[in-house]
């Protein structure tokens, strides 16, 4: 099926599929055209004009990202005209930009800086515009800092928030020289529908949107001899950290990460995967209880489908957009918060440390977790459950500041009491993972048999499709679960808030009859979170996903209920899932919020 | 957009409350309403007076004595460009070419256009507007 | 074969504002002819768009009629925002039926069933009369069983919405930010359907062509610039107003007719056009081909005359201020470039930057011309370079 066209790039003949843009054609033949507003996750904007190329026969230069290839096109990507124009454009951007790189959070990983260095912009002849405007920095949000003086108006963040996430917290306002990226009525991010998911931070090419960092606070805590600093690490961090430290995407660095954390001075290095297993126990039991109440007791107050609640970006989203469905959310806290609550109660008691001397830190792939840690209801331990949340990027900064040679570190195991995990805990970091972990345990609990999938890999919930569905038929259950005999458990998995909207709308209209839905705010699940290494792309996220499943496959224990430390926790402390102690420490409630 | 224009016609500007209502009615994000409204010069988002005066500042009107007319207005209403009179009657704004260059200088008051202005003429026009309200009150 | 402006006497014609009372007859007879014949008529008349871009109208209508789609639209661009242009206002208030008829015929040819008039917010006072005309027009269409609906869409004060793709974005309820081209409106326009979008004046010319035939139109004007055009004359002139003149006239003749005796320069085409200094009057002619050496491009037909009492620096300052405000702000060269140009000339005038800085700004305008996303950014170079090059001293002292 000949649907190709013949063009030439810089004199070399190239055959490319009809309809592909010049940028894609060049890329497939090893020629890089610099871009700024273009991103693989988003639609084409064509407004930065950095990718302009010369097309023979046209008086004007065309944007490579927006121009489709046509038969016979002759393209020059590096002619004198193109280079001079590009240099001008970069100089213009720099004139509008607060170019104080040495004091910027993205120093070293900024796309504008890279371009400026590539084209050797060494003088600024144009008039500096940044000092003339009164830019303000929005620092009110607990997780994201927005600095308008560094914005190059590429609109990536607006497109991300609208297309990828469907939240629409950011928009373009005004026109001409007053044009800027802002929120509704220019309010602070924390006062609008921003879910703190941090996807805008991931996609911003400069330092205009960064996460609020707590690096100095954590260093101080570590240095304080009176404080016992406990750190928990999320599953997705161990497949992303490598990218910040020079390793290829999808490198599994778990052991080295633990070794690094120990060297940094943390008193105890524990694992969020432990509480992930715990979450499965609690949430699995909750699901079965709800099913019983609905199917047997016909209790109208109990709502189905039940939705997972470990993604704080998703929580804020549903609080704003679908507050009438808050009862559908599982009352379980997220693994991070469960850990925090246990750290200052169960762990403190076991280690004989005063809870007020414990500083609970977590390393997360997520910016919304910073918001979650400061939610007013999160102090069931009697103190703030999680004191500081660091993103994967911030951890890399700590490691670099300590001068550690990451690659030379010998892998080390997690500390005891809350450091054990199973494969089910690890897969929390990928979309579909929570569902898979829950099914592995719930099915076995109900039928006494393992899930009927090869190697326990529940394929239907894996993969990068926006909304996935799976159903498991329950046959021959154990006696006490007899009411589930013949029930087909319908499940759905959604990642990226735009897909969450699709699923919630389906639930609202009555078209969906799921029992259990997993929601993750970020594309790809937590491994694509707002705190993960920049840059991000569909390929990178796929590699991280493969790494997570590989971690799962390599572990001996792969079902949450087999975790020995979890069993010990119940025996010694919690007694059983959904007990009073559990309810107090490990379950929470939600707040209705305005839609606008 | 027609919705926003209708609201502006009645209330003279688009308040935060109006924007939220519009967003609710047509089920679009509030930020989008805000972004679209601020793009258009005729959709004000800050409170304005009852009569919005828009003076053309493009070259032909500037050449033909717009400054004198502007001074006359500022003198009469005691406000500067961009401000609203304390009794919330008049707001003074600048705008670009109104399309009456052969009869410059020109200005708009709400939807009416006045051309071939002189300081005396504009004083008469404004006095006329001041009287309108008093008649309505009576 | 270069067509120089041989001293053409200014020929004043009166097609546009002539009597329109026979619009009903024109409409009903035209829609009885074959669409292909009508398109050929337009193409042979060599009518080009009168909004400033000058795209051959016949070709545009042909492309739209060939496009395959369930719905097509006709849009009349009445967002006349170019400084110095006020002809479309006159057309809409004096001969609206010609516009409506032209739109309907275009709908007949291309297969569109719906037409819109995008009317700029500053012309709101025309609304009642226009609506009356539309009502009568629709009534007649129903009588002759011709299915074509026309409605008005109001703008709200944005010059950039005169750009065709920005206009469509505005009609779709969004910010008026121009789109990437390709794809072009005749393939993917309003609501992604094939759309014909024409300036008000262009449509009235098509009316003339359908009424009198292409030859009458073609016989006027010169090669590449057939027919007549409306010129909006203002500034230092004893005869401000709107005049329908044959294309191809020499600027010298124009100034003889309309100048006040002391004309220093003429801005042809509004702020997006060229400033022609006195010494180049005899070399310049008004038409559609090439740049200033010989023939210049009338962006919409705005002619602003400046006499020797006017400072060209003030003129340029005014234009750059206009562009800076009205730019949509999307693409880097236009958004930042306009600010840089304005601040740049101010700095040179105040002595903060040396005179050589103007050369750097000229090179910047070249880049803007090559890389800007839409016509606004691309045309700033026209007035900037023509003023700075011809009146260099006025920029500095």
Q: Which residues pair with A494 in a beta bridge?
A: A467, A519
3-state secondary structure of C41: helix
Both tokens of A46, joined, read 């064509």
Taking an 8 Å cut-off on Cβ atoms, the answer to whether C343 and A89 are in contact is no
pLDDT at residue B132, rounded to an integer: 80
Q: What pLDDT is attached to residue C291?
A: 43
Q: What is the pLDDT of residue C292?
A: 41
Q: Is A63's CB within 8 Å of C373's CB?
A: yes
Q: Residue A475: its pLDDT value, please?
A: 85
**A408 is an active site residue:** no
Of the listed ranges A130-139, A526-535, C337-346, the one predicted with least confidence: A130-139
Give chain B positions within 8 Å (CB) of A167. 29
Query: Does A185 sit within 8 Å of B35, measured CB to CB?
Result: no
Is the CB of residue A517 less than 8 Å from the CB of residue A307? yes
A338, A585 Cβ separation under 8 angstroms? yes
Contact state of B60 with C125 under an 8 Å Cβ cutoff: no
Whether A197 is catalytic: no
Say yes or no: A80 contacts chain C, CB-CB below 8 A. no
Question: With an 8 Å Cβ cutoff, is A177 touching chain C?
Answer: yes
C39 Cα to chain B: minimum distance (Å): 33
Among chain C residues, the shortest Cα distance to A58 is held by: C370
What ipTM, to 2 d.p.? Answer: 0.90
Average pLDDT score, chain A: 90
Q: How far is CA A4 from CA A29, A442, B51, in A?
A: 15, 52, 61
Catalytic residue among A316, A526, A551, A559: A526
Mean predicted confidence (pLDDT) in C146-156: 91
Q: Residue C74: helix, strand or coil by DSSP?
A: strand
Q: What are the chain A neighbours of B23 within 8 Å (beta carbons)?
A: 596
Query: How far is the C-alpha of A148 from the C-alpha of C147, rounded, in Å?
Result: 52
Q: Is A147 on the interface with C (CB under 8 A)?
A: no
Answer yes or no: A319 catalytic. Answer: no
Q: A128: distance to nearest CA of chain C, Å?
A: 9
CB-nearest partner of B112 from C125, C241, C322: C125
Number of domains in chain B: 2
In the structure encoding, which two tokens stand for residue A477, read together? 């259950």
Regarding whether B92 and B24 lie in a shared domain, the answer is no
Domain span holding position B120 = 51-137
Contacts of A542 (CB under 8 A, 6+ apart): A464, A524
Q: What mean pLDDT do residues A426-437 have?
A: 92
Q: What is the pLDDT of residue B133?
A: 67
Closest Cα of chain C to A157: distance in Å? 14
A175/C357 CB distance under 8 A = no
Q: Do A184 and B38 touch (CB under 8 A)?
A: no
Q: Quick check: B47 contacting A, CB < 8 Å?
A: no
The whole-number average pLDDT for the span C242-257 is 84
Per 3-state DSSP, what percentage of chain C is helix, strand, and coil (rounded to 5)? 50, 15, 35
Q: Are residues B26 and B61 in the same domain?
A: no
**Residue A467 confidence (pLDDT) above 50:** yes
- C221-307 folds as Ubiquitin-like (UB roll) (3.10.20)
**Please, where are the H alpha helices in C31-156?**
35-45, 57-66, 87-94, 96-110, 127-143
- Tens-digit pLDDT profile for residues A503-531: 999 998 988 888 999 999 999 999 999 99
pLDDT of amino acid C10: 65
Taking only the tens place, the pLDDT of each residue in A11-38 is 888 888 888 899 999 988 889 999 999 9
pLDDT value at B137 more than 70: no
Question: Which residues on B lie below 8 Å from A171 (Cβ)?
Answer: 29, 31-32, 34-35
Instruction: Assess whether A286 carries a catalytic annotation.
Output: yes
Domain ranges of chain C: 23-218, 221-307, 312-396
Check CB contact under 8 Å for B39 and A169.
no
Query: Has residue B134 got a pLDDT over 70?
Result: no
Residues of chain A above pLDDT 90, percent: 54
Q: What per-residue confidence (pLDDT) applies to A2?
A: 61
Answer whether B133 touches A (CB < 8 Å): no
pLDDT in tens, C24-38: 888 888 888 898 999
Is the same domain home to B62 and B124?
A: yes
Structural domains for chain A: 4-78 (3.10.20.740), 92-211 (3.30.70.20), 227-274+336-408 (3.40.50.1780)
Q: Which long-range contacts (CB under 8 A, 24 or more apart) does C141-149 make?
A: C141/C104, C144/C27, C144/C28, C146/C27, C146/C31, C146/C104, C146/C108, C147/C113, C148/C103, C148/C104, C148/C107, C148/C108, C148/C112, C148/C113, C148/C114, C148/C115, C149/C113, C149/C114, C149/C115
Which two structure tokens, joined as six digits, stand for C198?
């024409």
Report yes or no: C388 and C313 within 8 Å, Cβ to Cβ. Answer: no
Give the pLDDT confidence score for residue C220 in this predicted structure.
Answer: 83
A450 a catalytic residue? no
Task: Give strand ranges (E) for A141-297.
Answer: 144-147, 170-173, 180-183, 209-211, 228-233, 268-271
Mean pLDDT score, A51-75: 90
Per DSSP, what are the bridge partners of residue A563? none
Residue C151 and residue C167: Cα distance in Å, rounded?
A: 15
Q: Please name the chains neighbouring C, where neighbouring means 3+ C-beta pairs under 8 angstroms.
A: A, B
pLDDT exceeds 80 at position A293:
yes
B38 touches chain A (CB under 8 A): yes
Together in a domain, B28 and B57: no
Q: Per-residue pLDDT for C293 more than 80?
A: no
pLDDT at C4: 36
Nearest residue, CB atoms, C332 vs list A49, A127, A174: A49
pLDDT band at A486 (very low <50, low <70, confident <90, very high): confident
Q: Are residues B57 and B125 in the same domain?
A: yes
Residue B43, chain A, CB below 8 Å: the answer is no
Contact state of C84 with B60 under an 8 Å Cβ cutoff: yes
Statement to judge: residues B91 and B118 lie in one domain = yes
B45 lies in a domain? Answer: no
Which tokens hold the place of B113? 């256009």
Look up residue C101 and give its two tokens: 């008829």
Is the domain of B26 the same as that of B65?
Answer: no
A372 in active site: yes
Active-site residue, selected from the candidate residues A111, A282, A286, A444: A286
Please list, in sequence order, all residues whose beta carbon lies within 8 angstroms of the beta carbon of residue A370, skipping any fewer than 6 positions away.
A142, A143, A196, A211, A212, A214, A389
Tell me which residue in C121, C122, C240 faces B102 most closely, judged by beta carbons. Answer: C240
Q: Are residues B82 and B32 in the same domain?
A: no
Instruction: Give the distance from residue B119's alpha carbon to the nearest chain A alpha carbon, in angstroms.
Output: 32
> What's the pLDDT score for residue A445?
87
Give the full edge-to-edge strand order of the sheet including B112-114: B90-95, B51-56, B107-109, B112-114
C136: exposed, middle or buried (Cβ count in 10 Å: 0-12, 13-18, 19+): middle
- Among the partner-chain residues C236, C240, C326, the one whose CB lies closest to the CB of B96 is C326
The pLDDT tens digits for A248-282 are 998 999 999 999 999 999 999 999 999 999 999 99
Other beta carbons less than 10 A from residue A338's beta carbon: 27
Pair B79, B109 in one domain: yes
- What topology does CATH give the domain C23-218? Rossmann fold (3.40.50)
The distance in angstroms from the start CA to the end CA of chain B is 36
- What per-residue confidence (pLDDT) applies to A487? 85
Chain A within 8 Å of B26 (Cβ-Cβ)?
Answer: no
Q: Do C370 and A60 touch (CB under 8 A)?
A: yes
The alpha carbon of residue A151 is apart from the nearest alpha carbon of chain C, in Å, by 12
Q: Provide the chain C residues 176-215 that lie in CB contact (below 8 A) with chain A.
A: 180, 182
Q: Check if A511 is active-site.
A: no
Q: How far is A149 from chain C (nearest CA, A)?
A: 14
Do B7 and B56 share a structural domain?
A: no
The pLDDT value recorded for residue C272 is 86
Separation CA B42–CA B65 (nearest Å): 24
Give the closest-approach CA distance of B125 to chain C in angstroms: 17
Least confident of A461-470, A566-575, C9-18, C284-293: C284-293
Q: How confident is the model at residue C198 (pLDDT cuts 50, 70, 90)?
A: very high
Instruction: Say whether both B27 and B77 belong to one domain.
Output: no
CATH number at residue B61: 3.40.30.10
Mean pLDDT, to the nearest integer, of A356-362? 93
Q: How far is the CA of B91 from the CAs of A153, B56, B88, B131, C313, in angstroms?
A: 31, 14, 8, 16, 30
Which residue in the set A44, A89, A175 is minimally distant from C329, CB to CB? A175
Q: Are C336 and C298 in contact (CB under 8 A)?
A: no
Environment class of C328 (CB within 10 Å of its CB; exposed 0-12, middle 13-18, buried 19+):
buried
Q: Is A283 designated active site?
A: yes
Cβ of B76: how many Cβ atoms within 10 Å?
A: 15
User: Residue A61: CB partners within 8 Å, gap ≥ 6?
Assistant: A52, A53, A54, A55, A81, A82, A85, C370, C371
Contact check, Cβ <8 Å, B31/A595: no
Q: Does B87 touch chain A (CB under 8 A)?
A: no
Q: Which of B41, B63, B99 sits opposite C89 (nearest CB)?
A: B99
Q: What is the pLDDT of residue C8?
A: 47
Instruction: Band the pLDDT of A4: cuts 50, 70, 90.
Output: confident
Same domain, B132 and B70: yes
Q: Of the given ranges (C2-6, C134-138, C357-361), which has the lowest mean pLDDT?
A: C2-6
Residue A129: list chain C partners with CB under 8 A.
Answer: 336, 339-340, 343
CATH number among 1.10.287.110, 1.20.1440.230, 1.10.10.10, 3.30.70.260, domain C312-396: 1.20.1440.230
- pLDDT band at A364; cut points 50, 70, 90: very high
Q: Is the pLDDT of residue C298 over 60?
A: no
Q: Answer whether residue C7 shows pLDDT above 50.
A: no
* Closest chain B residue by Cα to residue C127: B111
Would you call C278 an interface residue with chain A, using a CB distance cutoff of 8 Å? no
Q: What is the DSSP letter of C329?
A: -
| Shortest Cα distance, chain C CAs vs residue B101, angstroms | 6
Percent of chain C whose predicted confidence (pLDDT) is above 70 = 94
Average pLDDT over residues B65-85: 90
Q: Which of C123, C158, C234 sits opposite B104 (nearest CB)?
A: C234
d(C-alpha A585, C-alpha A569), whole Å: 13
């Amino acid at each position: 099926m000949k649907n190709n066209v013949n063009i030439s790039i810089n004199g070399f003949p190239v055959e490319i599929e009809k309809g592909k843009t010049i940028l894609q054609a060049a890329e497939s033949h090893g020629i890089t055209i610099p871009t700024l507003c273009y991103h693989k996750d988003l639609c084409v904007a064509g407004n930065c004009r950095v990718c302009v190329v010369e097309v023979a026969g046209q008086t004007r230069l065309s944007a490579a990202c927006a121009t489709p290839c046509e038969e016979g096109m002759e393209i020059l990507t590096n002619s004198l005209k193109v280079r001079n124009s590009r240099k001008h454009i970069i100089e213009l951007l720099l004139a509008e930009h607060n170019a104080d790189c040495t004091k910027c959070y993205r120093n070293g990983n900024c796309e504008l800086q890279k371009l400026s260095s590539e084209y050797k912009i060494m003088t600024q002849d144009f008039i500096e515009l940044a000092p003339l405007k009164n830019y303000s920095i929005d620092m009110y949000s607990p997780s994201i800092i927005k600095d308008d003086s560094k914005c190059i108006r590429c609109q990536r963040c607006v497109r991300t928030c609208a297309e990828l996430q469907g939240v629409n917290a950011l928009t373009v306002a005004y026109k001409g020289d007053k044009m800027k990226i802002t929120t509704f009525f220019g309010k602070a991010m924390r006062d609008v529908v921003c879910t703190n998911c941090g996807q805008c931070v991931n996609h911003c090419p400069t330092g205009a949107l960064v996460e609020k960092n707590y690096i100095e606070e954590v260093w101080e805590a570590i240095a304080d001899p009176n404080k016992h600093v406990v750190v928990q690490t999320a599953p997705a961090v161990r497949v992303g950290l490598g990218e910040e430290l020079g390793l290829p995407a999808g490198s599994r660095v778990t052991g080295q990460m633990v070794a690094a954390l120990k060297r940094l001075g943390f008193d105890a290095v524990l694992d969020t995967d432990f509480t992930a297993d715990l979450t499965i126990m609690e949430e699995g039991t909750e699901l079965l209880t709800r099913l019983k109440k609905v199917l047997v007791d016909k209790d109208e107050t109990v709502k189905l489908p039940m939705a997972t609640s470990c993604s704080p970006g998703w929580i804020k989203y549903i609080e704003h957009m679908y507050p009438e469905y808050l009862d559908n959310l599982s009352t379980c806290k997220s693994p991070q918060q469960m850990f925090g609550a246990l750290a200052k109660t169960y762990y403190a008691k076991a280690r004989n440390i005063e809870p007020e001397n414990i500083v609970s830190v977590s390393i997360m792939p997520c910016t919304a977790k910073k918001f979650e840690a400061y939610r007013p209801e999160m102090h069931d331990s009697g103190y703030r459950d999680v004191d500081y949340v660091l993103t994967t990027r911030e951890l890399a900064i700590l490691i670099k500041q300590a001068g550690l040679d990451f690659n030379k570190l010998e892998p080390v195991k997690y500390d005891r009491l809350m450091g054990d995990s199973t494969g089910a805990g690890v897969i929390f970091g990928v979309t579909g993972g929570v569902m898979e972990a829950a099914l592995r345990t719930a099915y076995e609990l109900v039928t006494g048999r393992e899930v009927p999938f090869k190697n326990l890999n529940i394929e239907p919930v894996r993969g990068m499709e926006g909304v996935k569905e799976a159903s498991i038929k329950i046959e021959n259950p154990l006696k006490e679960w007899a009411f589930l005999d013949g029930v087909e458990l319908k499940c759905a998995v959604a990642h990226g808030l735009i897909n969450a909207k699709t699923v919630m709308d389906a639930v609202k209209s009555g078209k969906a009859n799921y029992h259990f839905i997993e929601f993750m705010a970020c594309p790809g699940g937590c491994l694509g979170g707002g705190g993960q290494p920049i840059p991000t792309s569909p390929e990178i996220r796929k590699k991280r996903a493969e790494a997570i499943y590989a971690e799962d496959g390599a572990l001996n224990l792969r079902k949450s209920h087999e975790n020995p430390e979890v069993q010990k926790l119940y025996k010694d402390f919690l007694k059983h899932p959904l007990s009073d102690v559990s309810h107090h420490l490990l379950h929470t409630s939600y707040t209705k919020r305005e839609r606008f | 957009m027609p919705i926003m224009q209708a609201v502006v016609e009645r209330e003279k500007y688009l308040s935060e409350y109006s924007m939220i209502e519009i967003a609710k009615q047509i089920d679009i994000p509030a930020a989008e309403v805000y972004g679209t409204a601020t793009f258009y010069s005729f959709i004000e988002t800050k409170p304005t007076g009852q009569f919005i005066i828009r003076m053309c500042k493009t070259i032909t009107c500037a050449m033909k004595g717009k400054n004198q007319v502007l001074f006359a207005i500022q003198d009469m209403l005691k406000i500067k460009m961009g401000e609203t009179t304390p009794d919330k009657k008049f707001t003074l704004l600048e705008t670009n070419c109104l399309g009456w260059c052969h009869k410059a200088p020109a200005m708009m008051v709400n939807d009416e256009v006045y051309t071939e202005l002189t300081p005396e003429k504009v004083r008469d026009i404004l006095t006329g507007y001041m009287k309108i309200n008093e008649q309505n009150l009576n | 074969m270069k067509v120089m402006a041989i001293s053409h006497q200014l020929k004043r014609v009166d097609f546009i504002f002539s009597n329109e009372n026979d619009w009903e007859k024109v409409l009903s007879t035209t829609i009885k002819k074959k669409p292909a014949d009508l398109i050929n008529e337009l193409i042979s008349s060599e009518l080009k768009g009168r909004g400033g871009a000058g795209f051959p109208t016949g070709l545009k209508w042909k492309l739209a009629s060939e496009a395959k789609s369930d719905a097509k639209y006709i849009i009349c661009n009445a967002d006349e925002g170019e400084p110095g242009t006020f002809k479309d206002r006159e057309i809409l208030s004096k001969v609206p039926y010609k516009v409506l008829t032209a739109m309907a015929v275009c709908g007949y040819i291309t297969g569109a069933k719906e037409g819109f008039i995008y009317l700029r917010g500053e012309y709101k006072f025309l609304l009642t009369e226009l609506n009356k005309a539309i009502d009568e027009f629709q009534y007649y269409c129903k009588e002759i069983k011709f299915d074509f609906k026309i409605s008005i869409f109001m703008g709200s004060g944005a010059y950039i919405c005169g750009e065709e793709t920005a206009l469509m974005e505005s009609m779709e309820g969004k910010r008026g930010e121009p789109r990437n081209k390709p794809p072009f409106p005749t393939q993917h326009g309003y609501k992604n359907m094939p759309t014909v979008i024409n300036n008000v004046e262009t449509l009235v010319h098509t009316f003339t062509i359908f009424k009198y035939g292409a030859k009458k139109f073609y016989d006027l004007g010169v090669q590449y610039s057939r027919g007549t055009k409306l010129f909006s004359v203002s500034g230092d002139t004893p005869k401000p107003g709107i005049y329908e003149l044959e294309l191809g006239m020499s600027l010298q003749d124009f100034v003889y007719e309309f100048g006040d005796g002391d004309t220093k320069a003429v801005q042809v085409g509004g702020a997006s056009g060229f400033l022609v200094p006195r010494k180049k009057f005899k070399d310049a002619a008004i038409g559609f081909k090439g740049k200033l050496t010989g023939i210049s491009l009338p962006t919409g037909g705005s002619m602003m005359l400046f006499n020797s009492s006017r400072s060209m620096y003030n003129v340029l300052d005014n234009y750059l201020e206009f562009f800076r405000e009205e730019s949509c702000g999307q693409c880097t060269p236009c958004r930042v470039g306009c600010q840089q140009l304005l601040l740049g000339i101010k700095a040179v005038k105040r002595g903060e930057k040396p005179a050589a800085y103007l050369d750097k700004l000229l090179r910047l305008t070249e880049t803007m011309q090559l890389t800007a996303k839409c016509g606004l950014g691309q045309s700033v170079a026209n007035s900037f370079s023509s003023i700075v090059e011809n009146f260099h001293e006025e920029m500095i002292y």
